[in-house]
Structure 1
Amino acid sequence: MEIILCVAYTLFFVFLINKLKFFKIEGVSAKILSVLFIIKIASAFAITLIYTYYYKDNFESDIFKYFEDGKVIHSSIHNNPFDFLRLVSGIGADVPHLDQYYNLTNFWFKEHDYNLLNDNRTIIRFNAISLIFSFGYFNVHNIFMAFISFTGFTAIFKVFYNYFQEKRNLLIVSVYLIPSVLIWTSGVLKEGLVMFSLGFILYYSDKLLACKFQWKYVLGLIFTIFLLFISKFYVLLAIIPGLFSIAAIKLFKNKFAFYIFTSVHVLIFVIFFFFQVVFSHYNLTEIVSKKQHDFINMITQINSVGSQIDIPVLKPSLLSFVKNTPNALVNSFFRPHIFEIKSFMYIVPAIENLLIIIMFLLMIFFYKKISTDKFLWIWFCISFVLILFVLCGLTTPVLGALVRYKVPAIPFLFIIFITFIDFKKIIELSNNIIKWKK
């Protein structure tokens, strides 16, 4: 039955890809998009196999533990559908009799919440709702999340394809086909929801920046910002400076872009640190510092984390953050490297990081200048990659977790590379070398 449902839902989503206007992209056929979607599904099954046969501990593995808690929440629909609506919406979900469900879950509550929303509940609720249509078969959830994630990536692709149609194939690879991104954003994990919401935040923002004001774009933007807020709050924080920067640059018609970009970031960080002084419960430097300390303490207690790395201990001060930022960036950009491969799970990210080094070198030696009008969303890419990589590098003392947490920024890093590398010069040089050897 599970196989039949998986095939049926796959065919249904392929049908939507072929019929919906959103997926109509000039120069990119529905057949290509359908193949990319099938690759997403294959990646979802791959991460499921990894969690089943490599990590093995189903109780602690993210991909299964939230599914099991989702079953508990879903069970309420048989007893009282209104209770189910309360549980999945969060509205009126604090009534005492719902404790009968909360007490049966293992991850509905977090040991450390840092005065922030509990993002575990978002993926648990996704599973609870999906169970209505999956009849309890886990791999059907894989299909659902693969499509949701794929839709978000398509939104990202459409934003950048508007500016770089001549780089179609490179853009497809950068957005859809980076291996670590495929693996971690296709299965039943929070990252799928993150990429969906992130993609549509950019998509709706691009529409509004193009002066195409429609209420559907405004409402869509509000909804996806909220979804990202409850899925991965730190990713939302990482995109805010970039979005405000490109809005300001657009307002000034791309003039003085660098100065506007820098000024907006400085202004946002000043406002941000002033805000946390006034509202001490939301002191981000203290929250990030505590999060790092708790992460380090947790892996020290486990004492069996093979990918643990030493990172400087953060203090809840701006000076400590600035001092440790270079080390954070080095870890996020270049680790794990090829000399840190300890298992097959390290192979792909290590090769990707080697490729990142190569791409940096190519960008230096084969730099290509682009026109001002095409630079707008590249400013966002630069901002988002740097901020997310700093946050991940500062707080994550485990290489495996670092690979996963930085995944949302990886497509944008490769978009930067393919934008500024002159591949024609590389091809010409290669041809000249071949001719010279002959």
Structure 2
Amino acid sequence: MAFAIYFLLLLLIILRGSRITLFHDEIINRKNFTFFFILKVLAIPAFYFLFLKLYGGIEKFDAGKFFFDAKTIGNFAFQNFPEYVKTIFGLQDETEGGHFYKMIIEPTFNWENGAEKDFFYNDNRVVIRIHAIIHLIAFNSYFVHALWACFFSYIGSVLIYKSLKNFFPGKEKLFFVLICFFPSLWLYTGALLKEPWCVFFFGSIIYTTKQLTERGFSIKRILAFAFLLLVSIMLKPYILFFGLISFLLFYAIQTKVIAKWRIAVFTGAILVLALTANLTVLQIKKISLYDVAVGRLLRFDDVAKGGIFLTDTQQLIRVDYDWNLLSKDSLSKNHFKLKKGTPYVYWEFSHKNDTLRNYFNTNTTSSYSLAYVIPKAGSNIQVKQNNAAYTLLNSLYYTMAYPLFVNAKGAVQYLASFENLILLLSVLLIISGCLSSSKEKFPTYFFLFLSLSIFMLIGFTTPNSGAILRYRAPMAIFLLAGALYFVDFFKIKQGKLRF
């Protein structure tokens, strides 16, 4: 019931909210925006029932874990509202053994992952905090949470459309359809995940940087930009922060530099910024950006392999997801012993931040209780680290061409295959357009740079094809935009595909 009421309310806002100028457009009218939103919302049951059919539900995946954590913190508001407010603003007391620790940290899944890693903020807490606020009006309904996430992602899509539609004269509506209904982006923005909020904030970033560079500075725009800069550092910085810097350069060069020099100036600026960033990180952290990416790859690979977690009074132990490495303790239920030679990773409770390793177990008498089990991911891939050029090409292969129908397994990988085919065709259209079109190349060069740069980073640091499908979704639309920029549909109707 709550879902239906909110859904009708949002439809009325889009269709009849005359004071909300966001949905005023000379190309797409309010009825079109309303119809597209209805189609967008269909992603909510599609995602939920797909995971119910394939995996038995969402509980063991991020959507279910975020929902549980948001409920836990949201319900905390009814027990201790001042502490709830502190939690929303990041002022909570997380002292081990304290009230907040017992009420929030111990029972939740993803909240504890909201700590600083290297020098990037892990973004789980941002999403949980947002949905902990939504939970106050959600009536304990996952679908209400998903609806609001979907609506905000739709706002982000509208902002992307309004910011870039001038590059697609005569193709504006198709551009908006690509933004909203690229299959994986449509699917994942219908769930309680980071992706809907990533699209919302990315659209806000593009729109705000366009306003700043084209209309000049104002207090309102500066404050909005400062807020978005903060968010971009906290929530998926490899997309939002990188996108903020890239679009700031793009619009500045688009308005200040003559057409024939734009590609050269943009490329030079990016190289200088990349070199400066790497040197700065080396000076401060004594580690290169490449090493940071390798570290993330190893952490993700470790998680994707799953594991069996055991504990006693002094430590938490993780062994590979292989029950043959353990023997049951016949004297205690749900207790196990490590077999001789079993390698394992462990964390001592006295200093939990230190990850320790034992490559060959010799203690076969100690008994450990079973804490929890994480099954091995079913779509892991191997990202080989050879020379830099090979690594980058290998990353692009896994992000854009794997799987491709013949090596696909299951419904999700067939969806990935379909998208990969679209992405590869888009690259061919871009190459053809660059070679034969008289149009300015800078916009499509920028779209290509933006999408491929993040594709390479995702492919290098994410050794799992299912995760790649989800992580790349917000950026895939820009590769399609690069192809759409060159396509002339009037000439297609005449029977000739020209650019």
Question: If the length of structure 2 is used for normalisation, what is the TM-score?
Answer: 0.78
- Gap change, CA 1:415 and 1:277, over 3 Å in 2: same
Matches of 1:403 and 1:211, distance apart in 2: 37
Gaps of 5+ in 1: 315-319, 432-438
Structure 2 equivalent of residue 305 of structure 1: 377
Structure 1 equivalent of residue 23 of structure 2: 23
Aligned counterparts, 1:416-431, within 5 A: 416-429=482-495
1:263 and 2:268 aligned? yes
Deviations along 1:78-125, one digit per CA (max 9) or x if unpaired, are 222110111111035446442232222122113985233231111211
Aligned counterparts, 1:274-423, within 5 A: 274-280=279-285, 283-301=288-306, 304-313=376-385, 321-365=388-432, 369=437, 371-372=439-440, 377-423=443-489
Deviations along 1:345-403, one digit per CA (max 9) or x if unpaired, are 1222211211222333344446663644xx66545422320211011111121111111
- Gap change, CA 1:297 and 1:85, over 3 Å in 2: same
Q: Aligned residue pairs: how many?
A: 421
Report the CA distance between 1:58 and its aligned residue.
4.1
Higher helix proportion = 1
Letter in 1 for 2:6: Y
Out of 11, 18, 32, the residue aligned to residue 8 of structure 2 is 11
Structure 2 equivalent of residue 120 of structure 1: 124
- Gap change, CA 1:378 and 1:200, over 3 Å in 2: farther
Deviations along 1:29-54, one digit per CA (max 9) or x if unpaired, are 11111111112211022112223332
Matches of 2:163 and 2:86, distance apart in 1: 36
Identical residues among aligned pairs (%): 24
Matches of 1:255 and 1:92, distance apart in 2: 53
Q: Which 10-residue stretch deviates more, 230-239 or 243-252?
A: 243-252
- Gap change, CA 1:107 and 1:254, over 3 Å in 2: same
Relative contact order, higher structure (CA 8 A, sep 6+): 1
Structure 1 SS opposite 2:28 = coil
Matches of 1:390 and 1:90, distance apart in 2: 33
Matches of 2:115 and 2:292, distance apart in 1: 10
Aligned counterparts, 1:247-258, within 5 A: 247-258=252-263
Query: Is the Cα contact below 8 Å between 1:17 and 1:23 reproduced in 2?
Result: yes
Query: Is the Cα contact below 8 Å between 2:14 and 2:23 reproduced in 1?
Result: yes
Larger-gyration structure (1/2): 2
Matches of 1:362 and 1:163, distance apart in 2: 16
Matches of 2:273 and 2:400, distance apart in 1: 24
Matches of 2:286 and 2:144, distance apart in 1: 40
Gaps of 5+ in 2: 308-320, 322-375
Matches of 2:175 and 2:81, distance apart in 1: 45
Out of 89, 101, 108, the residue aligned to residue 99 of structure 1 is 101
Aligned counterparts, 1:50-89, within 5 A: 50-56=50-56, 58-89=58-89
Report the CA distance between 1:223 and its aligned residue.
2.0
Q: Which 10-residue stretch deviates more, 260-269 or 328-337?
A: 328-337
Quote the RMSD (CA, aligned, Å).
2.4
Query: Is the Cα contact below 8 Å between 2:423 and 2:476 reproduced in 1?
Result: no
Matches of 1:162 and 1:213, distance apart in 2: 22
Report the CA distance between 1:60 and its aligned residue.
2.5
Letter in 2 for 1:250: T
Structure 2 equivalent of residue 435 of structure 1: none
Structure 2 equivalent of residue 436 of structure 1: none
Report the CA distance between 1:212 and its aligned residue.
4.2
Structure 2 equivalent of residue 49 of structure 1: 49
Letter in 2 for 1:369: S
Structure 2 equivalent of residue 163 of structure 1: 167
- Gap change, CA 1:112 and 1:74, over 3 Å in 2: closer
Report the CA distance between 1:237 and its aligned residue.
4.1
Query: Is the Cα contact below 8 Å between 1:249 and 1:255 reproduced in 2?
Result: no
Matches of 1:363 and 1:423, distance apart in 2: 15
Structure 1 SS opposite 2:42 = helix
Deviations along 1:38-76, one digit per CA (max 9) or x if unpaired, are 122110221122233322264421111111111111122
- Gap change, CA 1:213 and 1:369, over 3 Å in 2: farther
Higher strand proportion = 2
Query: Is the Cα contact below 8 Å between 2:48 and 2:58 reproduced in 1?
Result: no
Structure 1 equivalent of residue 356 of structure 2: none
Report the CA distance between 1:241 and its aligned residue.
4.8
Query: Is the Cα contact below 8 Å between 2:395 and 2:459 reproduced in 1?
Result: yes
